């Protein structure tokens, strides 16, 4: 009988911006022990993908890993698989970026391992029909997709084997379907169950090719897997089981499978794996989708209907999370500036650092959210912002003394925003609310606006049960990451306004601090989310933005004016705020809110000062109220930066952390997203204007 071919591929990845200890733990618990064991079984030939961020960390942190892989490539045991070097979602970036990232990966794999990578790992298996045409210039021969992609194209075979050819405008690409059954068996079930499944495929389809491709982190990093895979010897047993079945089973790298003819031609719709397409839906739609799938399953129609029922597609994360969209559009804007100054990313062998920074900022993990923290992890977003700001700073240095005021629709929502650059900082304003949504320091490469809103997620409304490693038998394996859950523990709170700054609030005099963090304050004014008329001008190395709006506070007509003044290379904005009533003010208070982040909620080197006094609880996670403040600041001694506010006349200040409840591989967790401060004063007791002057400054403490 002709042997069944098991095309075996492992994908190892850590995102740009992950903690150093996470990389180190990954090497210790997963990447190195896996490759050491595989090296002891040279007849098990396989494909290996390592993402660029992980490759770069291993250059200094795990040189032995490189040595082992280099030797295995030389012996023919390992085929290196390419991809976008910094693991971007390919369809959402310009063609030139995609081609450059794929070529960069090929160049780096050749220089480190002597490998010629002609296949590619498609980040999160996000497929777009334009990819064959896009990837032809990068000379990619094949990629790997989930069976769901093929189901949506009309193929309903229970266990899809072989590979297919797809094309766009005559540009062809081979595509392998990944066996979902194998993804859920390996490594969570005993090796015998995998062998049993493979034997059933071999009996029905002698000589066929079946593909396994999945995250290498399953072999030691996912919860419970290190003990299962290494301490309890799952991987040695699995490799021996594969070797013992070599009379009917051969394990091969993906490139070898191309020696056999394709199954035929196929055209695939936009898709990713099933879970990803569900996560990309709006929260309320996810609940409707799950309810519909539950009804279909109860009628015994799940398998029959699944090819025709699907979720959304990846791009909708840019709608679901405006924070992701802003990062994406700012990367595109920064890339345009880089290309204007130094040209396109053509010299792959000597890629300029600004282009590397742009490509690092395209790493997908901080742009979306599903099972892992993703966009909810502030350090992943920080890495995206840091890299794109570094790229901006590198190419704007020659014009750093000039003020720039640009009005454009940077986030592509159909409305123009206003971006002010003073040479050392950038400030972005929206005409809705005359609010500030962008605060960047170019020298520090720091995005102080990098906060995350509190919004509904579908899992907030589902009953959860504890998950983890099963222990009812010695042979029980760890739960799949998709089965791990936990308890939310408290009712989530959702935002009523975006996490911008200079947002106006008018509220009753008996309002308490707690009413704002728990979204129960009474809003007396209508200045958010109304449109403000705007005008801008630059003169004498300075710039002025002026916003005006007529609104109501309770039933009192009020005219609001906000003026934002900037000076070249000052790193600050001076805000002159004036609200003039047409009749006597109602009883109440006016507050102006700021949202910002110094990333760490409890670190002793991140702290508040109020009129140069450090409170007993000065953490960024602290909740507190201080009266009659003229000067306060939030300092980050680790990054050597600070934000400072000067307030005239002195005002009261409330502060609180911004904490989201999100899902991660460990269940549910509260995550610090930033800090909120409200500068507030009583409304005048007579019919006179309310005036406030606030100077908000970025301070570089290192010099």
Is the separation of the CB atoms in 401 and 393 below 8 Å? no
How high is the pLDDT of residue 487? Answer: 58
How high is the pLDDT of residue 484? Answer: 52
Q: Which two tokens stand for residue 16?
A: 């740009």
The two counts, helices (H) then strands (E), for the chain are 19, 26
- Is-catalytic flag, 215? yes
Catalytic-labelled residue, pool 124, 214, 417, 422: 124
CA dist 42 and 203 (Å) reads 26
DSSP 527: -
Question: Which domains are delineated in the chain?
Answer: 4-272 (3.20.110.20), 313-399 (no CATH), 503-529+575-700 (2.70.98.10)
Residue 548 has pLDDT above 60, yes or no: yes
How high is the pLDDT of residue 491? Answer: 83
Q: How many CB atoms lie within 10 A of CB 612?
A: 9
Q: Which two tokens stand for residue 243?
A: 């070797």
548 has which bridge partners?
533, 561
How high is the pLDDT of residue 696? Answer: 98
- Is-catalytic flag, 124? yes
Q: How many CB atoms lie within 10 A of CB 522?
A: 12
How high is the pLDDT of residue 465? Answer: 47
pLDDT digits (tens, 9 = 90+) for 616-639: 999 999 999 999 999 999 999 999
pLDDT digits (tens, 9 = 90+) for 104-141: 999 999 999 999 999 999 999 999 999 999 999 999 99
How high is the pLDDT of residue 461? Answer: 87
pLDDT digits (tens, 9 = 90+) for 460-514: 887 654 444 444 344 567 766 555 555 566 788 999 999 999 999 999 999 999 9
- Among 99-113, 144-158, 226-240, 482-496, the minimum mean pLDDT is found in 482-496
For 618, the 3-state DSSP assignment is coil
* Alpha helical stretches, state H, 321-463: 322-342, 353-360, 378-396
Residue 235 has, within 13 A of its CA and on its CB side, a CA count of 24
Residue 216 has pLDDT above 90, yes or no: yes
Q: Which two tokens stand for residue 351?
A: 């890629």
| 703 burial via Cβ count (<10 Å: 0-12, 13-18, 19+) | exposed
pLDDT digits (tens, 9 = 90+) for 568-608: 999 999 999 999 999 999 999 999 999 999 999 999 999 99
How do the residues of the chain divide into helix, strand and coil, expressed in percent and rounded to 5?
A: 35, 30, 35
Catalytic-labelled residue, pool 136, 215, 227, 416: 215
Please state, in angstroms and as integers, the Cα–Cα distance from residue 702 to each residue in 424, 439, 441, 444, following that order.
15, 19, 13, 10
DSSP 1: -
For 236, the 3-state DSSP assignment is helix
CA dist 27 and 368 (Å) reads 25
Mean per-residue pLDDT of the chain: 93
User: Averaged over 367-385, what is the pLDDT?
Assistant: 94
């Amino acid at each position: 009988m002709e042997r069944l071919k098991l095309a075996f591929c492992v994908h190892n990845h850590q995102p740009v911006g992950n903690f150093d200890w996470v990389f180190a733990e990954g090497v210790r618990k997963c990447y190195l022990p896996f490759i050491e064991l595989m090296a002891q079984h040279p007849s098990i030939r396989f494909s290996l993908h390592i993402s660029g961020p992980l490759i770069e960390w291993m250059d200094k942190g795990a040189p032995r890993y490189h040595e082992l892989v280099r030797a295995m490539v030389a012996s023919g045991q390992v085929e290196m698989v390419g991809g976008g070097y910094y693991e971007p979602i390919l369809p959402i970036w310009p063609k030139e970026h995609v081609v450059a990232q794929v070529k960069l990966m090929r160049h780096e794999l050749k220089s480190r391992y002597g490998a010629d990578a002609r296949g590619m790992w498609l980040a999160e298996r996000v497929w777009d029909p334009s990819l064959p045409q896009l990837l032809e210039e990068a000379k990619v021969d094949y990629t790997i997709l989930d069976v769901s992609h093929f189901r949506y194209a009309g193929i309903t075979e229970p266990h899809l084997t072989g590979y297919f050819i797809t094309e766009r405008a005559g540009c062809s690409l081979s595509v392998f379907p990944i066996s979902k059954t194998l993804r859920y068996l390996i490594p969570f079930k005993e090796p015998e169950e995998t062998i049993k499944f493979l034997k059933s495929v071999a009996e029905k389809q002698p000589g066929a090719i079946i593909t396994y491709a999945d995250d290498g982190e399953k072999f030691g990093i996912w919860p419970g897997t290190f003990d299962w895979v290494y301490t309890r010897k799952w991987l040695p047993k699995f490799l021996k089981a594969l070797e013992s079945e070599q009379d009917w089973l051969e394990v091969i790298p993906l490139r070898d499978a191309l020696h056999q003819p394709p199954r035929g031609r196929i055209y695939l719709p936009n898709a990713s794996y099933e879970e990803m397409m569900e996560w990309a839906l709006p929260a309320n739609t996810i609940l409707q989708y799950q309810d519909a799938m539950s009804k279909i399953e109860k009628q015994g129609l799940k398998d029959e209907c699944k090819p025709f029922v699907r979720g959304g597609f990846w791009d909708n994360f840019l709608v679901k999370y405006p924070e992701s969209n802003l990062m994406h559009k700012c990367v595109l804007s920064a890339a345009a500036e880089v290309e204007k100054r130094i040209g396109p990313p053509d010299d792959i062998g000597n890629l300029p650092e600004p282009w590397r920074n742009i490509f690092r900022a395209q790493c997908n993990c901080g742009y979306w959210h599903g099972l892992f923290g993703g966009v909810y992890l502030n350090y992943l977003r920080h890495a995206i912002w840091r890299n794109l700001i570094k790229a901006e700073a590198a190419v704007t240095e020659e014009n750093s003394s000039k003020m720039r005021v640009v009005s454009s629709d940077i986030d592509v929502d159909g409305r123009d925003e206003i971006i002010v650059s003073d040479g050392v900082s950038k400030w972005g304003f929206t005409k809705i609310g005359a609010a500030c949504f962008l605060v960047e320091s170019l020298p520090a490469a720091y995005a102080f606006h990098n906060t995350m809103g509190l919004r509904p997620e579908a899992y907030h409304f589902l009953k959860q049960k504890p998950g983890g490693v099963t222990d009812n038998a010695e042979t029980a394996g760890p739960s799949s990451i998709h089965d791990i859950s936990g308890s939310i523990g408290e009712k989530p709170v959702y935002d009523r306004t975006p996490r911008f700054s200079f947002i106006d609030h008018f509220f009753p005099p008996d309002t308490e601090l707690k009413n704002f963090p728990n979204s129960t304050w009474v809003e007396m004014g209508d200045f958010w989310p109304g449109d403000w008329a705007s005008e801008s001008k630059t003169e004498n190395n300075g710039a002025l933005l002026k916003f005006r709006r007529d609104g109501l506070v309770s039933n009192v007509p009020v005219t609001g004016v906000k003026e934002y003044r900037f000076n070249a290379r000052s790193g600050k904005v001076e805000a002159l705020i004036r609200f003039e009533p047409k009749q006597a003010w109602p009883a109440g208070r006016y507050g102006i809110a700021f949202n910002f982040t110094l990333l760490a909620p409890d670190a002793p080197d991140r702290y508040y000062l109020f009129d140069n006094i450090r409170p007993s609880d000065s953490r960024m996670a602290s909740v507190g109220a201080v009266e009659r403040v003229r000067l306060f600041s939030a300092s980050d001694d680790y990054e050597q930066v600070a934000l400072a506010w000067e307030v005239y006349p002195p005002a009261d200040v409330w502060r609180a952390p911004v904490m989201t409840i999100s899902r991660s591989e460990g269940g549910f967790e509260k995550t610090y997203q930033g800090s909120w401060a409200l500068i507030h004063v009583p409304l005048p007791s007579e019919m006179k204007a309310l005036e406030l002057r606030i100077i908000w400054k970025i301070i570089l403490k290192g010099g």
